[in-house]
Structure 1
Amino acid sequence: MKKITLLLIIGLLSSNFYSQSKNFIDQPFLETEVEIDTSVTPDKIYLTIVLNEEDNRNKKSTEELERSMLMVLKSLNIDIDKNLSLLDFSSDFKKYFLSSQQVLKSKMYSLLVNDARKAGEVLAGLEKVEISNVSIAKTEYSKSEELIIELKTRAIAKAKRNAEKMLNPLNQKLGKAIFISDTNTPSITSQLQGKVAGVQIRGVSSLYGSRAQEEMMIDFEKIEFSSKVKVTFIIE
């Protein structure tokens, strides 16, 4: 008796599921896919600064270079407690043994700045104190999550407008959405180009070919965001 009851329940559930699927297939619907993209200027720029006592003409010690770096950053009103971090946390210094009698000490920092102008000021300021081993590690946009949500919303709204326009010549009315999906993972593309890891550096060099200058301009390619959605509407 229990087996018969169980089979009856399963049969009813299967019949109900089939009926719902059939109703969905039988009703007229319209499906549209939309992609929205935009580009923004990066507002988080990470610089990698390497202090090496063999990298400067006057053979300053790593400790001297570090003091000079901190002086430059403070003069540019950079919050070194918040935006400057030591990359090698296991030790204050990386030591490279060049021979049995000579040890080369190196120290690496990561610095966060918020725009290209400030990055240029840092590069120019460090160059003046003989710190030239500086590179652009990466760029980011701080409000990327909010922007992706906005792109999804705009894509769905555009999908509805497209569907309505497609039905206008047919004199039919667009019903509610019955299925919405992301057809791809929202993409974030940073296209960088130029001399330093995708960065274009512009400035007037001195007569002796030095990069040290009053102002160093850096151009960053904008970061591109895109989102694609597919929406299915009932046709009433």
Structure 2
Amino acid sequence: MKKLPLFLLPFIPFWGMSQTKNFIDQAHIETTAKVDTLVSPDRIYLNITISEKDTKGKISLEELENNMNTRLKSLGIATDKQLVLKDLSSNFQKYFLRQQEIQKSKNYSLIVYNAIMAGKVMMALEQINISNISVEKTEYANMESLLLTLKSRAIKKASMQALAMTKPLNQSFGKALYISDNSNVMSPYNNRMLAIPMKASKNSSESDSMAPIDIEFEKISVETEVRVVFKLD
């Protein structure tokens, strides 16, 4: 392999730097634009734990599980699609002579599509000794499409800002030399215990004298910010 003459070596990095700096050295204008919106969640994931411990061992896990499945189906929930088993655990609580008592528990994830159904689930399961329910997370189904829309709006806003800054100078801007974006989705729920406000229901039995108020879950905040560098003509 031939060695380059020493007097040429120092010029190689500077040549590379000059190529890199071509973008920066052009006359340009830089602007940042931010757009945001709020959307109602349409995917609400409930974390449900059923345990023999909650009934002091009086009701078996299998019976609790069957009762839960029946109640959820009565609400119109497709348990084969909306209910997923997360884990199974057994806790060794007591020992009686040579026999040991095992209190089992199961953890499920249930997806519902609005706050009213979430409230109905909580009420129905409380009536069968299942009350360990929390909101695992909330989502918006069309989030990807929404983010693309927000990015497009942010780019248009950045272009308008560039126009507003160059017009008073009797200058114009050209093509974009550089674009970057950053998006942020803020869901207000993360493993929070579910507490749905209730109201009295007139035409109902004693065991079902309350109904969830017609409310919505707190909305999801979605924000997109773009940084655009335009060439100055």
Fold match by TM threshold 0.5: yes
CA distance in 2, matches of 1:28, 1:95: 69
Rounded Cα–Cα distance in structure 1 between residues aligned with 2:22 and 2:60: 79
Residues 211/120 of structure 1: CA separation in 2 closer, same or farther (3 Å cut): farther
Aligned CA distance change for structure 1 residues 18 and 211 (closer, same or farther; 3 Å): farther
| Deviation of 1:205 (Å) | 6.6
Instruction: Provide the rounded CA distance (Å) in 2 between the counterparts of 1:11 and 1:211.
Output: 87
Q: Distance in 1 between matches of 2:61 and 2:211?
A: 26
Aligned to 1:235: 232
Q: Secondary structure at the match of 1:100?
A: strand
Q: Which residue type is aligned with residue 51 of structure 1?
A: I
Deviations 1:159-189 (A, max 9, x none): 001111112222222211111122xx42111
Moved more, 31-40 or 95-104: 95-104
Aligned equivalents of 1:230, 1:109: Cα separation in 2: 43
Cα pair distance change 1:23/1:188, threshold 3 Å: closer
In structure 2, the partner of 1:133 is 132
Q: Structure 2 counterpart of 1:18, which letter? A: S
Matches within 5 A, 1:140-155: 140-155=139-154
Gapped regions of structure 2 (runs ≥ 5): none
Residue 174 of structure 1 aligns with which residue? 173
TM-score, normalization by structure 1: 0.79
d(CA) in 2 for partners of 1:54, 1:104: 6
The structural deviation recorded for 1:46 is 1.0
1:117 alignment partner in structure 2: 116
Q: 1:137 to 1:22 in 2, by over 3 A?
A: closer
* Matched residues, number: 224
Alignment of 1:219-230 (within 5 A): 219-230=216-227
Counterparts of 2:207 and 2:227, CA distance in 1? 51
Are residues 1:202 and 2:201 paired? no
Cα RMSD between the aligned structures?
Answer: 3.3
Matched ranges for 1:1-236 at <5 A: 15=15, 18=18, 21=21, 24-25=24-25, 27-56=26-55, 59-88=58-87, 91=88, 94-101=89-96, 102-182=101-181, 185-192=182-189, 197=192, 200-204=195-199, 213-217=209-213, 219-236=216-233
Bigger shift: residues 128-137 or 62-71: 128-137
Could you list the per-position Cα deviations for residues 180-228 of structure 1 after superposition, in whole angstroms to 9, with x for gaps in the alignment? 122xx421111249xx81755210379xxx9964422464211111121
Residue 145 of structure 1 deviates from its aligned partner by: 2.2
- Check 1:168–1:56 CA distance in 2 against 1; reply closer, same or farther (3 A cut): same
What is the percentage of aligned positions where both structures have the same residue?
Answer: 40
Following superposition, the deviation at residue 233 of structure 1 comes to 1.0
The structure-2 alpha-carbon separation of the partners of 1:226 and 1:170, relative to structure 1 and needing over 3 Å to count, comes to: same
- TM-score w.r.t. the length of structure 2 is 0.80
Long gaps (5+) in structure 1: none
Cα distance between partner residues in 2 of 1:201 and 1:222? 16
Distance 1:133 1:152 in 2: 40
Distance change (3 Å), C-alpha of 1:198 and 1:128: closer
Cα distance change, pair 169–128 in 1 and its aligned pair in 2 (3 A):
same
8 Å CA contact retained: 2:134, 2:194: no
CA shift digits 1:39-83 (9 cap, x unpaired): 111111111111122324893222221111111111122111111
